[in-house]
Amino acid sequence: MPVLVVGSIALDHIKTPTAEHRQLLGGSASYASVAASFFGPVQLVGVVGEDFPPQHRQLYLDRKIDLAGLEVAPGKTFCWSGEYELNMNNRRTLSVELNVFEKFDPKLPESYRETPYVLLGNIAPSLQRSVRRQSLKPKFVVADTMDLWIEIARPDLLELLKEVDMLILNDSEARMLTEEDNVIRAGKKIAAMGPRYVAVKKGEHGCLLFGRDGEFFSTGAFPLEKIHDPTGAGDCFAGGFIGHLARTDDVSFPNLKEAVIQGTLVASFCCEEFSLRRLEKLHADEILARRKAFGTYIA
């Protein structure tokens, strides 16, 4: 089954304690679509400027990502600049230039409207809801969000929760959305707001999966000795998650647990190099080998 991915496409400038790189391919849609492409066909919806480097477009094509939904608008591509601290968990945004992304109004090509698996990447909830309304027969819709939208677009986000099957967010965002200090209570509370499932990411500590009917699953992250760039790991998790669901065409809770693990593994590869450079070289058999090494038991 194909996956529809809608989100931001960016040129990132990233600085870590050991290196600095500019004009890297970034954005939620980039990471999520490439991650999902290891599991099956992907349709990408996003916007770039006239300055978008041809080698970045070629990466999409090399991963056989359908670009009928990629808009090229007059102007410059969305640009984000950030710096990570020594522990690689904390980062600060140095600059944001929205450019053509400021007026992004996603429109689904007719060939995308009946795609059964939909990932609404981390963009404004109003845009996510617009895409959801254009999607005619989705089998499973996942939405990602962040603290910014919780702060400035809460009403739209709360309405979105009633229109999707699953929400993905991190533990601090879950606490922020629910005003709960305990992440378990927060996850359960979000599931009661509308989505059937909630995935709460905990960075190097893994992920929690909650179901509206009381289902629960917890898994750790894959241990890495060296982390070069964690940018986009959460988006890779989302892409790997929905990619697995589409490949298996199974949205039962046991299979959602496996999807959490598959997303976790793809995200671990993302952290091993800057931008999508590790995923450019990644092979499906490497994911399989890491899955065997991970060894999490699923009942």
Query: How do residues 63-92 score in pLDDT, each as one tens digit?
Result: 999 999 999 999 999 999 989 887 777 778
pLDDT at 225: 85
In the structure, what pLDDT confidence band is assigned to residue 205 with cuts at 50, 70 and 90?
Answer: confident
Is there a contact between 8 and 123 (Cβ–Cβ < 8 Å)? yes
Is the pLDDT reported for residue 298 higher than 70?
A: no
Q: What percent of the chain has pLDDT over 90?
A: 86
Q: How deeply is 101 buried, as exposed, middle or buried, from its count of CB atoms within 10 A (0-12, 13-18, 19+)?
A: buried
267-289 pLDDT, tens per residue? 999 999 999 999 999 999 999 99
175-189 pLDDT, tens per residue? 999 999 999 999 999
Is the pLDDT reported for residue 14 higher than 50?
A: yes
What pTM did the predictor assign? 0.94
95-120 pLDDT, tens per residue? 999 999 999 999 999 999 999 999 99
pLDDT at 18: 85
Coil vs helix vs strand at 23? strand
Is 9 domain-assigned?
yes
What are the residues whose beta carbons fall under 8 Å from the beta carbon of 91, sequence distance 6 or more?
82, 83, 84, 85
Is 299 domain-assigned?
no
Structure tokens at 204: 């190097």
206-234 pLDDT, tens per residue? 999 999 999 999 999 898 888 888 889 99
Is 135 domain-assigned?
yes
Q: How deeply is 26 buried, as exposed, middle or buried, from its count of CB atoms within 10 A (0-12, 13-18, 19+)?
A: buried
CATH number (domain holding residue 196):
3.40.1190.20
pLDDT at 91: 79
Question: How many whole angstroms separate alpha carbon 271 and alpha carbon 258?
Answer: 21
- What DSSP letter does each residue of 97-123 carry, written as one string? E-GGGGG------GGGTT-SEEEE-SS
Q: Which domain holds residue 256?
A: 3-294
pLDDT at 262: 97
Is 181 domain-assigned?
yes
How many domains are there within the chain?
Answer: 1
pLDDT at 299: 46
Q: How deeply is 297 buried, as exposed, middle or buried, from its count of CB atoms within 10 A (0-12, 13-18, 19+)?
A: exposed
